[in-house]
Amino acid sequence: MNLTEYLFTRLRELGVDHTFGIPGDFVLPVYAVQDAFGMPTVVCSHEPGVGFAADGYARIKGLGVALVTYGAGALNLLNPVACAYAEQSPLLVISGGPEVAMRRPEVYLHHVVKSFESQINVFREVTVDAAILDDVADAPEVIDRVLRNVISQKRPGYLEIPRDRVHSIVAAPIGPIAADPFAPVVHEAALEEAIIEIRAMLAKAERPALYVGVGVRRHGLTAKVVELAERLRLPVATDVLGKASFPESHPQFAGVYMGALGDQQARALLDGSDCVISLGVLRFDTNTGFWTDRIDPSTLIAAEPDLLRVRHHRYDRVPIDRVVEELARLPADSRRPQPRFAHPADSPVVAAEPGSALKVAEIIGLLLGLDQSLYSFVADVGDCWFIGLELRADVFLAPGYYASMGFGIPGALGAGVADPSRRPFALVGDGAFQMTGTELATMVDAGLRPIVLLLNNNSYGMLEALDSPRTYYHRRPWDYLGFARSLGFTAERATTAGELRFALDRAEAAEGPYLIEATVARNDLSPFLSRIKAHLAEVKKAAVVLG
């Protein structure tokens, strides 16, 4: 087989059924091989959409692939790859490249910037492993190495295939990708000691709680963590980035923690706990409600991918999957009742005057009324994201750390291709929609039937909420219905709660893709954003901390 077939053979073994990309001259030979191999590419409208779609796919399937040309293709993908790096998403970039024979200082080719290495230098800044497959002899080994690093570290990788290496003959893979011979071995004695310590802490704790982060989803530990929570009767909160890493319809789920600024039930749970077990949580500015988290560090147990922190000491080479496995084997705790939190959908939605303008609270209420198990929810950045944090979702994707606008529509495309059993449900604001909304067309091309809820407040509303009105926050309203229809969607507008309820009914019943433009007043904010705004105003740091 040739080098390219080797790569696609490996990708298929790892569960990849589609790539996302845009063809261009330097990558055409790779496309032709892939086509003959029988793996389709979802051809997107623009490379930023390629990257977010492949990222969305990766977050669900465990690996996503972007297949692009050199220069104008790959460099246009950088921001989504940076997002995937920050948020630990296993996204592989495959770029075509100039022939090895042409890589000479005196040869100038189109799509090249400073040097033939400019592109890989750029990608080294946003990947865990990057290689040019210029040496046929070691190409299979290098492919395996990059894939292993992407899969194990849950972060992007980069492979560049020079045009004169696409068809180079290599040996077919023998067996699965070998483990890294230099990988640290699990420290079993440390693990044992740690579990004994944790068990003692739990035995003394009166208000223990689980704090679930994105690492649980990325390492495929969700089912195990449910088992653990049920067995030990622990109430559960997630962080913002890890939302839906624990199934949110579960009665033990309290809400999304974001320090003082997130769900208040989750805040009371974690800040009031005397033993928090944190699993795969990243600690950064927005995730902690701008460092308003008050989890007691002297009672905190924190599992990270490769180590475990307990109070003020750490156990090295004790990985999160083994910790979860061992904790789920502890004897069931019968001292406490099984925790149970009310589902917010059971509370009545804020009543409004019939015909009065649609309120954010009403939107949240109506979304909570949907059968959440039917959908992969995907949120963009803006108040649509904070609205999304109120859902009780099984699948919820959002760029909750890197916070790049433009993720929503292409992310929902990737989610829809990755899991056809759930309809993608995108929550997107008008500012973000103006960035990557054209990928609606790709959703149509891919045969998906998403529901897109476009929350239109005619502005970069989150920025305005945290600053003050400025002309440059205004977004002229496009004819979004005409826009969506021009790309193949059915579309309607909702300006009241009643209209939105019926629009959602029609969208749910629709055979095809459906967009609802919901108009929102600029000063009508979600509970999360309201708390953030109040906090930042209070500390008088709005200009410094978040704009």
Q: Taking Cα atoms as reference points, which of 150, 155, 186, 220 lies closest to residue 322?
A: 186
CB of residue 246 to a second copy, shortest distance in Å: 22
Inter-residue contact 392 to 410 (CB < 8 Å): no
Of residues 13, 17, 35, 138, which one binds a second copy by CB under 8 A?
35
CB of residue 216 to a second copy, shortest distance in Å: 19
Closer residue to a second copy, CB minimum distance, 237 or 487: 487
Secondary structure (3-state) at 224: helix
Q: How many residues form the binding site for a second copy (CB under 8 A)? A: 83
Closer residue to a second copy, CB minimum distance, 96 or 255: 96
Q: Taking Cα atoms as reference points, which of 324, 368, 331 lies closest to residue 350?
A: 368
Of residues 54, 93, 112, 279, which one binds a second copy by CB under 8 A?
112
78 binds a second copy (CB under 8 A): yes
232 binds a second copy (CB under 8 A): no
121 binds a second copy (CB under 8 A): yes
267-326 residues in contact with a second copy (CB under 8 A) are 282-286
23 binds a second copy (CB under 8 A): yes
Category of 122 on φ-ψ map: left (φ > 0), alpha (ψ -120 to 50) or beta: alpha
88 binds a second copy (CB under 8 A): no
CB of residue 28 to a second copy, shortest distance in Å: 4
Q: What is the DSSP string of 467-517?
A: S---GGGB-PPP-HHHHHHHTT-EEEEE-BHHHHHHHHHHHHH-SS-EEEE
How does 295-316 read in b/e, with b if 16+ C-beta sit within 10 Å?
beeebbbbbbeebbbbeeeebe
CB of residue 134 to a second copy, shortest distance in Å: 15
Closer residue to a second copy, CB minimum distance, 37 or 478: 478
32 binds a second copy (CB under 8 A): yes
How many Cβ atoms sit within 10 Å of the Cβ of residue 510?
Answer: 14
How many Cβ atoms sit within 10 Å of the Cβ of residue 183?
Answer: 11
Of residues 85, 211, 257, 315, which one binds a second copy by CB under 8 A?
85
367-386 residues in contact with a second copy (CB under 8 A) are 381
| Pure H helices in 242-340 | 264-271, 320-327
Closer residue to a second copy, CB minimum distance, 328 or 454: 454
122-151 residues in contact with a second copy (CB under 8 A) are 122, 125-126
Please report how many Cα atoms fall inside a 13 Å half-sphere around the Cα of residue 397, on the Cβ side: 35
Closer residue to a second copy, CB minimum distance, 127 or 372: 127
DSSP 259: T
CB of residue 385 to a second copy, shortest distance in Å: 12
CB of residue 64 to a second copy, shortest distance in Å: 18
Residue with tokens 């953030």: 532
Query: Cα separation of 117 and 203, whole Å?
Result: 57
Vertex 461 angle, CA 294 and 541, to 5°: 45
Of residues 142, 202, 466, 510, which one binds a second copy by CB under 8 A?
466
Could you tell me which stretch among 201-209, 211-219, 462-470, 510-518 binds a second copy (CB under 8 A)? 462-470
CB of residue 171 to a second copy, shortest distance in Å: 24
Helix, strand, coil % (nearest 5) of the chain? 40, 20, 40
CB of residue 181 to a second copy, shortest distance in Å: 25
Structure tokens given for 369: 């009324």
Inter-residue contact 115 to 70 (CB < 8 Å): no
Largest CA distance in the chain: 76
Residue 346 phi/psi, 5-degree rounding, is -75, -20
Closer residue to a second copy, CB minimum distance, 166 or 412: 166
469-498 residues in contact with a second copy (CB under 8 A) are 470-473, 476, 478-483, 485-488
388-447 residues in contact with a second copy (CB under 8 A) are 401-406, 434-438, 441, 444-445
Of residues 10, 29, 443, 517, which one binds a second copy by CB under 8 A?
29
Secondary structure (3-state) at 308: strand
168 binds a second copy (CB under 8 A): no
CB of residue 187 to a second copy, shortest distance in Å: 24
